[in-house]
Amino acid sequence: MDFLTNGELYQNVLKNVSEAGDLININENALERLKYPRRAITVSVPLRMDNDKIKTLTGYRVQHNQTLGPFKGGLRFHQDVNVSEVAALSALMTFKNSLLNLPLGGAKGGVCVNPNELSSAEMQRLTRSFTSEIGPFIGPDKDIPAPDVGTNSQTMAWMLDTYSAEFGFAQTGVVTGKPVEIGGSHGRDSATGLGVIFICEKALATKNKKMEDSTIAIQGFGKVGCHAAMEAFNLNAKVVAVSDISGGIYNPKGLNIPDVLKYTSENGVLKGYPKAEPVSNEELLALDVDILSPCALDNAIHSGNVSQVKASIIVEGANGPVTSEATHHLHENGVMVVPDILANGGGVVVSYFEWVQDIVWLFWSAEEVREKLKTIMYRSFDTVWEFAQESNKDMRVSAMAVSLRRLEKAMKLRGLAW
């Protein structure tokens, strides 16, 4: 299984799992089972390009663990996708769902492709082709994909349509993150970013601070980062910097996020936004702010740049943006790192709500979704914070310990690995 576990992100996850497992004295057979994915499916994905030539891409769906319920996790279209990274992200989903107490297991998918180089028609053909290839392995009770980097609600609509074709009627529960018109949930688009900000509120409260007295810098201005920025702005926090792949923008007086969003909707990227100074992605990570939220890709903060970080709280909007070495360094220097499996859990919580609403065909208002999400995010933070206080450990190892404890109990009850 080395080809699955040898990537940097998987190794980081394993370090975290071993450390947390030792802390709670986990059953060694349960730990052994949780270290590896249940299965990794590799598919060749034929894509007919607009010039009529067929290109063959590589796609993956890795299903890590289903002790608590059906496999669940996002689908990523990105040129750097590789099977070990997808496997690591699938494991993080298992631990996230357990930590949040959701009746779901963990999975992740990916296609190695640069979506920015594809036309909309090519994106649709790619999505349909990949869905056909993994069709036998997914389903409302089996494995439920959702959007991630490079995919969105439109991608999920195409997946739903392709998967449903052989049934003759819509299988709405097969994906989450769909448009509301076809069984999506209100609040799913903004859920991850909103959850990040609920966690920022709780993290600040441990230091007797509030959002309105705080400064925040956000790396990544996609589905997670832009909603986190908007929510922080609405709560009167000073969002001093945001960035995307084109670079960052900085205004020490605070950015007007609705105006920035208007600019990106007209220009595609942040570069060139006139009412702020340009900063690089690296400079953004080193800004003197209360909260730094990396919401782009993994390994953004590592041993090479961690000493530059000046924020007192880091809230991981992305999956795996702070390496384990960097986390240890930050913890020793009094910086709180709220880990991905807690901080960006808002997305899967509302995906779970969507799945439930699709099962009962009864849909909730945006306010209901928001309040229910807040309850779960606050409660999950409190559980991890309490564990961290009692054990005198950092939030990353504490979150993993809480998650492993639930999984171990469920595995024992089901007679798995005993």
Interface residues toward ligand NAD, by CB under 6 A: 147-150, 192, 219-225, 243-245, 281, 295-297, 317-319, 344, 347
Q: Where are the alpha helices (DSSP H) in 25-81?
A: 28-34
- In this complex, which beta carbon is closest to ligand NAD, that of residue 75 or of residue 203? 75
Eight-state DSSP code of residue 333 = T
Give me the residue label for tokens 């609705």. 258
Let me know if 108 is a catalytic residue: yes
Please report how close the Cβ of residue 392 comes to ligand NAD at its closest, in angstroms. 28
Task: For the CB of residue 245, give the shortest distance to ligand NAD in the complex, in Å.
Answer: 3
Min dist CB 299 to ligand NAD, Å, is: 10
Q: In this structure, how many other beta carbons lie within 10 angstroms of the beta carbon of residue 286?
A: 17
Q: What are the backbone dihedrals phi and psi of residue 28, each rounded to the nearest 5 degrees, phi first?
A: -70, -30
Task: Provide CB contacts within 8 A for 278, sequence distance 6+.
Answer: 247, 248, 249, 250, 271
Q: Choosing from 15, 108, 238, 393, which is the catalytic residue? A: 108
Nearer to ligand NAD, 183 or 220 (CB): 220
The smaller minimum CB distance to ligand NAD, of residues 61 and 393, is found at 61
Quote the least distance from Cβ 25 to ligand NAD, whole Å.
30
Residue nearest to ligand NAD (CB): 222
- Distance from C-alpha of 8 to C-alpha of 20, rounded to nearest angstrom: 18
* Least distance (Å) between residue 389 CB and ligand NAD: 26
Nearest to 175 by CA among 224, 122, 222, 131: 131
CA distance 68 to 289: 38
Contacts of 57 (CB under 8 A, 6+ apart): 44, 45, 46, 47, 111, 112, 113, 126
In sequence order, the β-bridge partners of residue 48 are 54
In whole angstroms, give the CA distance from residue 390 to residue 388.
6
Residue closer to ligand NAD, measured from CB, 223 or 238: 223
Query: Per DSSP, what are the bridge partners of residue 57?
Result: 45
Show which residues are catalytic. Answer: 108
